[in-house]
Each structure stands twice: as structure tokens, then as C-alpha cells.
Amino acid sequence: MTASAPAAMTGRQKPSRARVLVRALPALLLLVLALAGPLLAPHAIDRPLAAPYGPADGTAALGGDLLGRDVLSRLLSGGAPLIATALAIALAVTAAATALGILAALRPRFGRWVERAADLAILLPAVLGIMLIALAWPSGGRLAVGLAATVLGTPYAVRVVAAAAAPIAATGYVETASAGGERLWYLMAREVLPNLRATLLALFGLRFVEGVYIVSIAAFLQLGPQPPEADWALMIRENAPGILLNPWAVAAPCLAIGLLAISVNLAADALAPARPSPETPL
């Protein structure tokens, strides 16, 4: 069952399909381009083609990096691992937060313990926590960074989902279903979860963007991916000393990360259902 209310409660108008497509299309194109990038790369990512930080020419469209490797080929090959890691972080955080947040809303005693634990975990700076976990597991690489980002990102997401689910859990149809003997999983999956679609889509978009930033920061701090791996964040760190010689070696991965974060966030917001619900806005 889903809640219903006048459209004026949310102030959100149902977007047209064309508007949704326009806002979601850039993210889809970037994701497809990043995933298919290794197949489109004109050169091997580890073969020098130009002088170090060489300018763009007919051989290397975006010039060379610190070792003279083709920047364009490394740019096309460096998006897939970053996106896959950020996507895994966003899925894991959203799934864990959804289960714990809805359970906390339906079982207030358990919810109080969850909120206290989340409040304590939120106090730990994310970058410091990632550095501690990554340094304690030096061979973990990208997996260690992803695990740290998931663990440290879940507490805040739980608070968001619990706050959005609490008004739904207190509605009459949920209480009626509970009094009728429906099981806990049924209340979570059939009564509360459908009314959280807008919140969860927005949360997923934000977690994906944060995952991109966290993985990028970790790579910039030399945690996670290591040379000679092609990675957008690693390219920024490696080529920063030669930015005056070949600006594209740094500007291209910076633009790719920024466009990816913005377009995915816009797509998540556009795809969120316009159906009004008694959710607490983010």
C-alpha cells in the first residue's frame, strides 16, 4: 500500500518524460562512454607516444602525461573502475541504510540504539577513517577504500532513511497491518518501502556522488589504485606537476569527474517519482 495526499503537500510537479530524459541522458551517456572507454582507447595505456607532458598533436589528441603516455587513452580507460567502485559503494550504503532505517522506524526501541550508534559513528571524520582502514589494510587497494566508504557512509544514510520512514510507520494503514498480524518483513517491504522511493533515489544519487569523491580523494592521497593503473583521480595527482606544460592531462580527468557527479545527481532527481508521500524531505 502507498500513501496518498494532495499534490500541494510536496510542491513537486510531475515532470514530463522529455524533461526526465534530458536530465538523465547526460549521465547515461557518460556511464556508457566510461564503461566502453577501454574498447575505444586508440592506444595502449602504458605505451609512451610523446615527450613527457607533450602537447596535443596528431598522435595524442590530448597530449602526453608524465611518461609521455596518451592522455586520451588513459582517460577513456580510467572511468570504468572509478564508476564501478562508486556504484558498489552507493548500492551497499543505500541497501544497508534502507533495511536499518525502516527497521528503526517500525521498532522504536531498536531505533534508539541505531540512532545512538549512528551519532557516534558520524563524529568520525570520513577521510581520517578511510586513511585508518586503508593504512591498516595496505594490500586492500580499491576494495579497502570501498569498504571504508561503505562503513563510514552508512550511519548518516540510516538517519536519513529512519527520519523519512518514521511518519510512514505511524500512519493508520501500517498500524492496521501490524495489528492484523502481518510479519515484520511484510511491513518493511510492502507497506513502508514503496513510499520511500523518492528518498531512496535521492539518497542513492548522493551516495554515488560521494563515492566518486571519496575514491578520488583516496587515489589523490595514494590510497587505493596505484600506478601504473589508469584512474581519473590518479591521473590528476600524477600529472599535477606538469599542468603548465600540458593542462589537458589534469583538466580532462577533472572535468570527467565533475560532469559525472553533476549528471548522476540530476538524473537521480529527475527519476525520483513525483507521487506525493508523507516523507520527510532530505
Predicted confidence (pLDDT) per residue in 36-78, tens digit: 888 888 888 888 888 889 888 888 889 899 898 999 999 988 8
C-alpha cell at 265: 545527481
Is residue 98 in some structural domain? yes
Query: N- to C-terminal Cα distance for the chain?
Result: 23
Contact 7, 266 (CB under 8 A): no
Cα separation, 144 vs 140, whole angstroms: 5
pLDDT of residue 6: 40
State the maximum Cα–Cα separation within the chain, in Å, rounded to a whole number. 74
Is residue 68 in some structural domain? yes
Neighbour tally for 58: CB within 10 Å: 5
Is residue 162 in some structural domain? yes
C-alpha cell at 236: 590528476
Domain total in the chain: 1
Residue 102 burial by Cβ neighbours in a 10 Å radius (0-12, 13-18, 19+): buried
Whole-structure pTM over 0.95, yes or no?
Answer: no
pLDDT of residue 4: 44
Pick from 204, 226, 231: nearest CA to 87: 204
Cα separation, 130 vs 128, whole angstroms: 5
The helix/strand/coil state of 111 is helix
Cα atoms in the 13 Å half-sphere on the side-chain side of 281: 7
Contact 30, 259 (CB under 8 A): yes
Is residue 63 in some structural domain? yes
Range of the structural domain that residue 256 is part of: 54-271
- Alpha-helix runs per DSSP H in 41-140: 71-77, 79-106, 108-122, 126-136
Is residue 3 in some structural domain? no
CATH number for the domain spanning 174: value is 1.10.3720.10
- Alpha-helix runs per DSSP H in the chain: 17-40, 71-77, 79-106, 108-122, 126-136, 141-169, 172-179, 184-186, 197-220, 232-239, 248-271
Contact 152, 121 (CB under 8 A): yes
Q: What is the pLDDT along the chain (282 residues), one digit of tens a residue?
A: 544 444 444 445 555 667 777 777 777 888 888 788 888 888 888 888 888 898 888 888 898 998 989 999 999 888 888 888 888 999 999 999 999 999 988 888 888 888 888 888 777 777 777 777 777 777 777 888 888 888 888 988 998 999 899 888 888 888 888 888 788 888 888 888 888 888 888 888 888 888 888 887 887 777 777 777 888 888 888 888 888 999 999 999 888 888 888 888 777 777 766 555 444 444
Is residue 279 in some structural domain? no
pLDDT of residue 191: 85
225-240: burial string, b at 16+ Cβ within 10 Å, e else? beeebbbbbbbbbbbe
Is residue 27 in some structural domain? no
At 233-260, the pLDDT tens digits run: 888 888 888 889 999 999 998 888 888 8
pLDDT of residue 2: 47
